[in-house]
Amino acid sequence: MSDAVLEVRGLTKRYGAVHALKGIDLTVRQGSIYGFIGPNGAGKTTTIRIVAGLVRATEGDVLLHGVDLRKDRLAAAKGLRTLVEVPAFYGNLSGQANLEIFARLAGADRADVARLLERVRLTHAKDRAVRGYSLGMRQRLGIAQALLGRPDLVVLDEPMNGLDPAGMHEMRELIREENREHGVTFFLSSHLLDDIQRLCDRIGVLHKGALVAEGRIEDLLSSAVTGFRLRCADPAAARAVLVASLPEAKARLDGDGTVHVAGDASILPRLHRALLDAGQPVVEMYPVRASLEAYFLDLTEGVMG
């Protein structure tokens, strides 16, 4: 039996002549935190709206626990919660009253309301009307709403929107805790690539409506080597050899006594030969991998979302 919570197959969306999505395929596994990234206009929110049942795809399938969303939306969406853009609430009701209404609709335990209000730092404001909440407070209340009833899959579109640095840290911890302790699977989009790298085990990179990369972050970045750090008996002498014989390596001496060189694996044979000929063999060598931000910019032609 497949452990896929969400499967997207050949997902296409056209708005007249605009081809917003171009045959996307992706899989979100049970118990994972999947990051969905791409520049503005790449099609992230369109994808999320289709998964949430708010927009109909032109072509392709969305399967939730193996059930086709088009054929049986109620069965497919059981256990699914979504937070798309700014959450909507009853402005004249308090934060607690709003969550209690949604808890009843979700068949959730009322004790969840108090627990989640505390987890998103809104206990102090639980009796205030939501119309007086700031954007960040509404966002935190929306995440609490999405977690009511111990859902299987929570889809979050820009969940850190409106949060201050402390709030972002607490939200990352909340997502980790719900994932680790309660087995909640998350599918989230964000422009904050540092958050994605800290939280997610798998990512999909969307660009101009097409999925240009998908996989485990460590696997994707393992192929993105930007240089090497070398340990030699005499780092200064080794650097001087490399500056003279391999100027394209841009050798520099780092503060920890290692020699840093730029380039991929193709530079290694010449590097080793130059150092051996000079009597400065490499003792240890470590690859330097691209950050998720550098990898993202390379895939999306330097376009930041």
Residue at which a domain ends, from 172, 194, 218 = 218
Domain boundary among 190, 218, 246: 218
Query: 91 with 171, same domain?
Result: yes
pLDDT confidence of residue 2 = 61
pLDDT at 20: 94
Is residue 299 in a domain? Answer: no
pLDDT higher than threshold 80 for residue 289: no
CATH number of domain containing 243: 3.30.70
Mean pLDDT across 58-80? 88
Q: What pLDDT is attached to residue 188?
A: 93
Indicate whether 43 and 188 sit together in one domain: yes
Residue 296 lies in a domain: no
Closest CA to 191 of 147, 226, 156, 145: 156
Q: Are residues 51 and 9 in the same domain?
A: yes
Residue 127 belongs to a domain = yes
- Between the alpha carbon of residue 205 and those of residues 35, 72, 215, 299, the distances in Å are 8, 29, 9, 8
- C-alpha to C-alpha distances, 4 to 8, 80, 148, 228, 272, nearest whole angstrom: 10, 13, 22, 37, 46
Q: How confident is the model at residue 300 (pLDDT cuts 50, 70, 90)?
A: confident
Residue-wise pLDDT for 264-284, tens only, equals: 778 899 999 999 999 999 999
How many domains are there within the chain? 2
30 & 153 share domain: yes
3-class state of residue 8 by DSSP: strand
For residues 197 and 276, membership in a common domain is answered with no
76 inside domain:
yes
Q: Mind listing the pLDDT tens digit for each residue in 247-264?
A: 998 999 988 889 999 887
Confidence bin at 1 (pLDDT 50/70/90): very low
Domain identity same for 73 and 128:
yes
For 78-110, the pLDDT digits (tens) are 888 988 876 789 999 999 999 999 999 888 888
Distance in angstroms (rounded) separating the CA atoms of residues 49 and 265: 42
pLDDT for res 303: 54
Instruction: Give residue 54's pLDDT.
Output: 87
User: Is the residue at 233 inside a domain?
Assistant: yes
Rounded-to-integer distance, Cα 299 and Cα 65, Å: 31
- With respect to residue 297, please indicate whether it lies within any of the assigned structural domains: no
- Which of 218, 235, 251 is the last residue in one of the domains? 218
How long a stretch of residues is the chain?
A: 305
pLDDT digits (tens, 9 = 90+) for 126-175: 999 999 998 888 988 998 999 998 898 999 988 887 788 888 888 888 89
Q: Is residue 303 part of a domain?
A: no
pLDDT of residue 155: 94
Q: What average pLDDT score do residues 282-304 get?
A: 76
Residue 275 structural domain: 225-289
pLDDT band at 237 (very low <50, low <70, confident <90, very high): very high
Burial 1-39 (b: 16+ CB within 10 A, else e): eeebbbbbeebbbeeeeebbbbebebbbeeebbbbbbbb
Same domain for 101 and 235, yes or no, is no
Task: Please tell me whether residues 174 and 281 are part of one structural domain.
Answer: no
Tell me: pLDDT of 295 over 80. Answer: no
